[in-house]
Amino acid sequence: DLSADTKAIPVTQVSRDAGYNLHWSADSKKLHYTLGDEYFTIDLNERFAFLPGAPDTLPPIDSAGLKIGLTLKTDVPEGAIVFENARVITMENDRVIENGVVVVERNKIVFVGSQTEYQAAKFKVNNPKIIDCAGKTIMPGMIDVHAHPGNFRFGLNPQKQWEYYAQLAYGVTTQHDPSVNSEMAFSNAEMLKAGRMVGPRLYSTGTILYGADGDFKAPINSLDDARSALRRTKAWGAFSVKSYNQPRREQRQQVIAAARELGMLVVPEGGSFFHHNLTQVVDGHTGVEHNLPVAPLYNDVISLWSKTNAHNTPTLIVNYGGLNGEYEFYQKSEVWKKKPLLNFTPKHILDERSRHRTMAPEEEYQNGHILVSQSCKKLQDAGVNINLGAHGQLNGLGAHWELWMLQQGGMSNLQALKCATINGAKYLGMDKEIGSLAPGKLADLIVLDKNPLDDIHNSESIRYVMVNGRLYEAETLNEIGNYDRKRSKFWFEQPGSQTSGAGMTHTCQEQKCVCGH
């Protein structure tokens, strides 16, 4: 491999923080590349002293490129919508309003209160769309802080991404992806922000800062190494970094120090190493991704963690140290029949995962993810914020499975719902904008047919979902409210797609199976 120590051929460092899209000038005398929104050009005779025209003293590496400067407007809908007669779970100081009103103007919430307060305030907006929510419940949109909605790939950006639709249909309005292809994730995030795609808000760490051997290892052996790695992902738009399997503690501490300088969050994964996790907690990481790989947690760990500000995103759906929590739901329900999941997930993907089920005795779940969930309850009771992260196992429905598993460990329904909303907003540093229903916050909300405070499984009974002030029918994701826009078909909904090649699936009775029967 080429390295700084290579002697067989001339090798030198040509950029401070590396880059993407390398290409040469026509005469091969210049190297061009991009990093984030900057375009760089390097004269090779300024990097190799033996080339003709090289100066007597080579200049320092240029750290500033040409700003490309593309600017687009953020998508903001027009008009106002008034939701009346609803039960409103605000996530503001545990306040639940019976017979409540929520008023949205453009992409912001402008009023939340009871019907009586609304009338007394004589609150007025111009020509609002009225949505009668009698018998229904409104809660903030869900925040999946450990999502993997299909961003780990190369190539062209899609016009629409089914994983985003599945997430949105199940009420996820904000997703944070801590392991992606940087180019795909951040370009899609910009498309979503500009209204060119439909889906939840998307934030990401970009490519992980991986310390173990692999295709994208990022060695951190100094504070400068950490600074360079973080500058690289921040250039794309990252405000967080996933420090993953950096083997030595001082390496992880260097990442934290660099992140503090650059104003970034550090959301590490310890690779299921208990002692890595404990040092991540005490060294000042923003939180810990995945559960600690031992359960139950005893009072020493609970007490230690409670003395820090570190969150935990346990991802019980892929439980460490036991059977993945998702197996319980595949075992106990006919997932392949679920609506609206089937409307937004290719059937062959759903079939191959759900029809052939792993069966396990009940005690495997009790001694697995439920035992971990009980430790999450202890952590939360001690003051540790627990977040919801569904790991992309089953985009959309998986977020509800994670919510239900948090409740299985002893949290009240309201406590579990906090993990899915305001706690995640705090983790991302966005609790002033999202995570609860209050005037001035962004209009992200869910309208449910049933009350999740009565039964946590009612979280799945979604009638409407609103993200950034745009209202959608959950079953179809047709836009309604002040707009009337039917969604177009996905590639897997086109004629013939269900029975061709890799798309082969179980089909409906009106169609013949591919074997002719």
Say what the pLDDT of residue 332 is. 97
Q: Kind of pairing, strands 287-289 and 311-313?
A: parallel
In a domain, 378, yes or no: yes
pLDDT at 504: 40
Structure tokens at 346: 């290719």
Distance CA 191, CA 188 (A): 5
Residue pLDDT, tens place only, 405-435: 999 999 999 999 999 999 999 999 999 999 9
Can you give the CATH number for the domain in which 307 is found? 3.20.20.140
- Domain-ending residue, one of 391, 415, 434: 434
Radius of gyration (C-alpha) of the chain in whole angstroms: 25
Beta strands in 90-155 (DSSP E): 96-105, 108-114, 129-132, 137-140, 142-144
pLDDT-derived band at 501 (thresholds 50, 70, 90) equals: very low
Residues 6 or more apart from 467 whose CB is under 8 A from it?
A: 141, 168, 173, 199, 200, 201, 443, 444
Structural domains counted in the chain: 3
Percent of the chain at pLDDT exceeding 70? 96
**Do 87 and 119 fall into the same domain?**
yes
In a domain, 7, yes or no: yes
The band of 498, judged by pLDDT with boundaries at 50, 70 and 90, is: low
pLDDT grade for 172, boundaries at 50, 70 and 90:
very high
Is there a single domain that holds both residue 428 and residue 283?
Answer: yes
Enclosing domain of residue 13: 1-71
pLDDT in tens, 431-449: 999 999 999 999 999 999 9
pLDDT at 500 over 70: no
- Summarised one tens digit per residue, pLDDT across range 234-272 is 999 999 999 998 999 999 999 999 999 999 999 999 888
Q: Is 323 inside any structural domain?
A: yes
Residue 61 has pLDDT above 50, yes or no: yes
Q: How confident is the model at residue 507 (pLDDT cuts 50, 70, 90)?
A: very low
Q: Are residues 135 and 192 in the same domain?
A: no
- The conformation of residue 438, written as its DSSP 8-state character, comes to -
Banded pLDDT at 486 (limits 50, 70, 90): very high
Mark which of 22, 55, 71 sits at the end of a domain.
Answer: 71
Domain containing residue 444: CATH number:
2.30.40.10
Domain co-membership, 341 together with 470? no
pLDDT at res. 215: 78
Mark whether 42 and 94 lie in a shared domain.
no
pLDDT, tens digit, 9 for 90 and up, residues 126-143:
999 999 999 999 999 999
Q: For position 414, what pLDDT does the model report?
A: 99
- Specify whether 361 is located in the same domain as 311: yes
* Cis upstream peptide for 340 (omega within 30°): yes
Instruction: Give the 3-state DSSP-derived string for 460-506, with helices as H, strands as E and coil as C.
Output: HCEEEEEECCEEEECCCCCECCCCCECCCCCHHHCCCHHHCHHHCCC
Q: Is 416 inside a domain boundary? A: yes
Please check the confidence at residue 404 and state whether its pLDDT lies above 50.
yes
Q: Are residues 303 and 336 in the same domain?
A: yes
In a domain, 213, yes or no: no
Q: Does the pLDDT of residue 5 top 70, yes or no?
A: yes
* Residues 451-455: contacts with CB under 8 Å, at least 24 apart: 451/87, 451/137, 452/89, 452/137, 452/139, 452/413, 452/417, 453/89, 453/96, 453/137, 453/413, 453/414, 453/417, 454/413, 455/413
Q: Of the candidates 434, 456, 472, which is a domain's last residue?
A: 434
Domain for residue 261, yes or no?
Answer: no
pLDDT over 60 at 514, yes or no: no
Find the mean pLDDT for residues 468-495: 95
* Residue 209 DSSP symbol: E
Statement to judge: residues 24 and 84 lie in one domain: no
Do 367 and 399 lie in a common domain? yes
Q: Is residue 272 part of a domain?
A: yes
In a shared domain, residues 383 and 462: no
Give the mean model confidence (pLDDT) for residues 350-358: 94
Residue 474 sits in the same domain as residue 426: no
Split at pLDDT 50, 70, 90, the class of 398 is very high
The residue with greater pLDDT, 264 or 12, is 264
Question: In the chain, helix, strand, coil percent, each to 5?
Answer: 30, 20, 50
Contact 11, 4 (CB under 8 A): yes
Furthest-apart CA atoms within the chain: distance in Å? 82
Residue 392 in any domain: the answer is yes
Q: Do residues 83 and 181 share a domain? A: no
